[in-house]
Amino acid sequence: MLLISCPNCGPRDETEFHYGGQAHVPYPENPNALNDKEWAQFLFYRDNTKGIFAERWLHSTGCRQWFNMLRDTLTYDIQAIYPMGTPRPDVTVPAAAESGTASTAADSTTTGDSAPSISASSIAPAATPASATAPKGATK
Amino acid sequence: MANTAALTGINGLRDIRRSPAYHLTEALAAGSVPGKVVLNEGPFQTMAGVRVDPRSEAGSRIAAVTGGLPAHCGEVTGTDSISVLWLGPSEFMAVAPEAAHDSLGGNLIGSLMEALGDAPGQVVDLSANRTTFELSGPRARAVLEKGCALDLHPRSFTPGTALTTEVGNIPVVLQKTAENSFRLFPRASFAEFLGRWLLDAMREYASPEVP
């Protein structure tokens, strides 16, 4: 579940919010001048971005206020939260952050220094520097 | 034919009024565990929904009636008899005892409407919108934590604050009135479900504690 920081209420569970679709879709200056295709484009066609996406959210069980959010549709990383009516902020995307939660520390379920030792196992010598022995077919 | 002898309350209706969890009264008494967690309904509170810009002139007039308007999420202002709960940046709920209602001789709604005047905003009598559950006892927080994602630990949820959230998937306003006592304001149609949900969550505390 996402933990969303409402600008008014602070961090709350995703279930308290409602999604409002893509942000920054302007209402046409002169709707009467549009033909059916352009009107349909305005009504129904939205970006389907892979990566950072600007979207609207409503804190429906809290303060009942709308706000905008920049969210990475790939990693669900929330990059920015900003008020309605303000332009999309520039967010510098961190270079392909490995945002997994797995820890490289010793297994937390073990205690003390009794982490499983791999030095004695037969596969240990294969752990040589990856740059020296890139697998065949690996791309740069 | 209505029993006119029963209609002697104010407006002729007070004695036949039934609160949303009235039918749970016995169950709430039976499910409460004195000394651990006690649940009862505090029916018929006078509630007014107020929407006004707190920085405007009308906002300060209303603040003079209610004893201040809360400025941010969680804050509760008010006097001894009125609490004003923050629902949104320009939306508040004033809660007062039953006798404060205009039909019972009080003047809360009328004075709020008078304070707002013609200014943008609204004052609506929402007394029948929500009912009030009062949950208290040393185990009250443990009961709520079974169905509320907020951090209810006293270090972050202090007495005298109120938050709009979900308890048992029901949208409620959760007010902490003292160290071990809470008030929940669910909408009337959720009172039955939330009352029974809380009773279910309280049931384990009737048994001896397993070490």
Of A29, A87, A101, A26, which Cα lies nearest the Cα of A54? A87
Q: Is A119's pLDDT higher than 50?
A: no
Q: How confident is the model at residue A94 (pLDDT cuts 50, 70, 90)?
A: low
User: Residue A59: its pLDDT value, please?
Assistant: 95
Q: What is the mean pLDDT of chain A?
A: 77
pLDDT in tens, chain B (211 residues): 444 444 445 666 777 888 999 999 999 999 999 999 999 998 889 999 999 999 999 999 999 999 999 999 999 999 888 999 999 999 999 999 998 988 888 899 999 999 999 999 999 999 999 999 999 999 999 999 999 999 999 999 999 999 999 999 999 999 999 999 999 999 999 999 999 999 999 999 999 888 7
Q: Is A126's pLDDT higher than 90?
A: no
pLDDT digits (tens, 9 = 90+) for A34-78: 999 999 999 999 999 999 999 999 999 999 999 999 999 999 999
pTM of the shown model:
0.78
Q: Is A132's pLDDT higher than 60?
A: no
Report helix, strand and coil shares of chain A as percent, to nearest 5: 15, 25, 65
Of B89, B91, B165, the CB nearest to A61: B165
CB A111 within 8 A of CB A120: no
Q: Give Cβ neighbours of residue A114 (< 8 Å, ≥ 6 apart).
A: none
Chain A interface mutation, best of B75, B164, B194, highest count of A Cβ atoms under 10 Å: B164
**How far is residue B25 from each of residues B15, B21, B187, B190, B199, measured CA to CA in Å?**
16, 7, 17, 15, 12
Chain A: give the shortest CA distance to residue B50, in Å. 14
Cβ-defined contact of B88 to A8 (cutoff 8 Å): yes
Count contacts between A and B (CB, < 8 Å): 34
What stretches of A24-107 show up as alpha helix (H) in DSSP?
Answer: 36-44
Residue B89 sits at the chain A interface (C-beta within 8 Å)? yes
Q: Is A40 helix (H, G, I), strand (E, B) or coil?
A: helix
Report chain B residues whose CB lies below 8 A from the CB of A3. Answer: none
- Assembly ipTM: 0.82
Chain A: give the shortest CA distance to residue B76, in Å. 14
Q: Torsions phi, psi of A102, nearest 5?
A: -65, 140
Q: What is the DSSP string of B152-208?
A: -STTTS-TTEEEEEEETTEEEEEEEEETTEEEEEEBGGGHHHHHHHHHHHHGGGGSP
